[in-house]
Amino acid sequence: MILALAGLLLPAVAAWWVLRAMRLRVPGDSRILAAAVAGALGIGASSLVTFATVFLEVFPGPVFVVADASLWSILCLAAWWRTRGRVAEPEAAPHVGPAREWTAADWLVRAACVAVVAASFAVPVIEYLKSPHGQWDAWAIWNQKARFLFRAGDGWTASMSIPWSQPGHPLLVSLSVARLWAYAGAELTAVPAVLSGVYGAITVAIVMGALDVGRTRAWVAGAVLVAPFAFSHLASAQTADLPFGMFVVASLAMLRQDDPPAWRQPGRARSALLLAGALGGLSAWTKNEGAVFLVASSCLVARVTLRHARWQDAAWWMGGVAPLAALVAYFKLVLMPILPEYVSGASGSTLIEQVTSIARHAAVLELVSPMWLPWGGPWARGSILVVLAAALVSSMSPTGHSARGTLAVVAVMIGGYYIAYVLTTLDLRWMVATSFERLVMQLWPALVMAALSVGQVDLRDSARVAFAQGER
Amino acid sequence: MVKFLAGGAILWALVAAGAGLRAALAMPADSMGHLEAEFLPLASYLPPRGEVGYLKPFEDTPGDDGVRTHYAAQYALVPRVVVAEEGREFVIVARDTARPGGDARLDGYFLVTRAASGHSVYRRLAP
């Protein structure tokens, strides 16, 4: 397991140094956010390398482990070497005005958040002891595909003929599990379980980092994010919904508009958009829903581009998305040309008939509407509605640019999921019952981030920018 | 007002996280580990790759148990593909899926092995 943990850490550390070497900075220069983004990028990038080695037929033997570890180590050293001796970045700029001292209430909120996080992350441990192979979809889909990759190498495509294994879904989660099994030299059930927990931890770090851990709202957000059983249960699931939600919220965190002066700097905007594009692309490499997210976030990027009247903004975002979108297209059109289970077997006329049928829409609404209130698990009834309302209020405030953008993307995604329900050829009742909680969970971190995006622009950020501009 | 709302949110989060912890403790253990272990002894009697058959239960049983057993066989026997179709050279017959007293679907097959769990592998007599 130690080797597997080393395999998990290596690409994350390499990504951290590469970000620094390329001067790619996250909004607000939050170290926690940067570390979380490096972790997410590390997982994503290492899955891409693993995918390449499967084709080169060196996966999963010792040659793979040595080559993979060497690659990340060399990358890490090269990036570190490049940053050596560089003049300190403006993040070291002094604060303007006295920093606010934390009150007893602030400390209480922080302590409560730590307690909530501890309780929530105990759930995956308990569930792992009871269900080491994860939940139904884990052993029926994601870990099963990982086994195909680990046991058969390039023969993994045999999994394509297993209809319930969702062969058309991309491979990030399964490749990540198989890669760490290769490091461990065995199919340890702890590997997908730990990975699942790491996805949860990165998600929390992204939301808290984006909201600035120096401010109490970030700690409230952290507690609210992990409190529903739906979150901790999904962190135990070993499935792809949580990592998908992680990439979605990470991409949206890069697109936050809290600090208008920072967005007016082309360098800062370039960093944010390139990272947002890459993280959005990785969401599409995680689950089919990623395509919906890319469509939704492209609207937000278009708005950002128009607002700053800089077409390069869209180009940077596209630069991050394009390689991954090309890979997903190759996967879906060449390797696994299979329609998703939920629309397979339907003719064009059937789909048009369903979209235009009022009865069909009524049936979807009738099934979906009552599911919003109880979402979240015990003592979380109504939480999604309260957070939605808070996000709406936040988005209507004068400084609510970030909440507005995030909420717009979430709205488009909900629309996409609704259309999938309308179009599905599967039993609608079953489809809604088995997917609704997971689909909402994918959007929950983004909604919590939007809901807590309250308050004024952090003056320290603006001060840093002014300082940086003065320095140049 | 904001402080009041933040305090309320934190209190709720504490209660909800505690309730989640309780729900996790009350959850039953998953049977996949046992099911997988039951099928593993059959692996050495099957070809290392390719498709193998899986006999469907002789009568439809309500609930997920039948599906779960089939999925468990697939999960355990990767990288083979366990298809619920007749006519394959090798057929996995899970416990209690064949019709008692002789199942016509196994005519022309002979028993290769039966694991302690009751799951069996049959092989066609002639190609």
Same domain, B91 and B44: yes
Provide the domain count of chain A.
Answer: 1
pLDDT over 60 (residue A464): no
Same domain, B65 and B21: no
- Distance in Å, alpha carbon of A430 to nearest chain B alpha carbon: 13
pLDDT of res. B97: 87
Report the share of chain A in percent with pLDDT over 90: 71
pLDDT over 90 (residue A197): yes
Same domain, B55 and B91: yes
Tens of pLDDT, residue by residue over A427-436, are 999 999 999 9
Quick check: B24 and A122 CB within 8 A? yes
First to last CA, chain B: 79
Same domain, B86 and B110: yes
Same domain, B24 and B36: no
CA distance B96 to A127: 30
Tens of pLDDT, residue by residue over A130-177, are 999 999 999 999 999 999 999 998 888 888 888 888 888 899 999 999
Residue B107 in 3-state DSSP?
A: coil
- Distance in Å, alpha carbon of A112 to nearest chain B alpha carbon: 7
Same domain, B49 and B74: yes
Provide the domain count of chain B.
Answer: 2
* Mean pLDDT of the region A438-459: 84
Residue with the bigger pLDDT between A458 and B95: it is: B95
Same domain, B58 and B12: no
pLDDT of res. A467: 46
pLDDT of res. A1: 84
pLDDT of res. A87: 63
Same domain, B71 and B89: yes
pLDDT level of residue A128 (50, 70, 90 thresholds): very high
Residue with the bigger pLDDT between A337 and B23: it is: B23
pLDDT of res. A85: 72
Q: Mark out chain B residues that contact chain A at CB-CB < 8 A.
A: 2-3, 6-7, 9-25, 27-30, 32-33, 36, 49-51, 71-72, 74-75, 78-79, 81, 83
Mean pLDDT is lowest, of A29-33, A257-261, B63-67, for: A257-261
Mean pLDDT (chain A) is 90
Residue with the bigger pLDDT between A466 and A346: it is: A346
pLDDT of res. A93: 46
* Mean pLDDT of the region B8-12: 94
Report the share of chain A in percent with pLDDT over 70: 93
Q: Does residue A12 lie in a domain region?
A: yes
- List of chain A residues whose C-beta atoms are within 8 Å of the C-beta of residue B83: 161
Which residue from A203, A64, A96, A187 is spatially nearest to A133, judged by alpha carbons? A187
List, in order, residues 6 or more apart from A125 with CB less than 8 Å away.
Answer: none
pLDDT of res. A456: 47
- Distance in Å, alpha carbon of B35 to nearest chain A alpha carbon: 11
Same domain, B20 and B36: no
Chains A and B form CB pairs within 8 A to the count of 146
pLDDT over 90 (residue B16): yes
- List of chain A residues whose C-beta atoms are within 8 Å of the C-beta of residue B28: 130
- Distance in Å, alpha carbon of A313 to nearest chain B alpha carbon: 35
Phi-psi category of residue A225: left, alpha or beta, with phi > 0 → left and psi -120 to 50 → alpha? alpha
Which residue from A359, A355, A385, A370 is spatially nearest to A433, judged by alpha carbons? A370
CA distance A228 to A244: 18
Measure CB to CB from residue A216 to each of B6, B19, B71 and give the nearest one. Answer: B6
CA distance A105 to A102: 8
pLDDT level of residue A29 (50, 70, 90 thresholds): confident
Which residue from A203, A195, A196 is spatially nearest to A221, judged by alpha carbons? A203
Same domain, B55 and B86: yes
Same domain, B43 and B2: no
Same domain, B90 and B69: yes
Q: Does residue A94 lie in a domain region?
A: no
Structural domain of residue B70, as residue ranges?
A: 32-124
- Taking a C-beta distance cutoff of 8 angstroms, is the pair A212, A30 a contact? yes
Q: Does residue A173 lie in a domain region?
A: yes
Residue with the bigger pLDDT between A85 and A336: it is: A336
ipTM of predicted assembly, 2 dp:
0.93
Structural domain of residue A427, as residue ranges?
A: 2-82+112-466
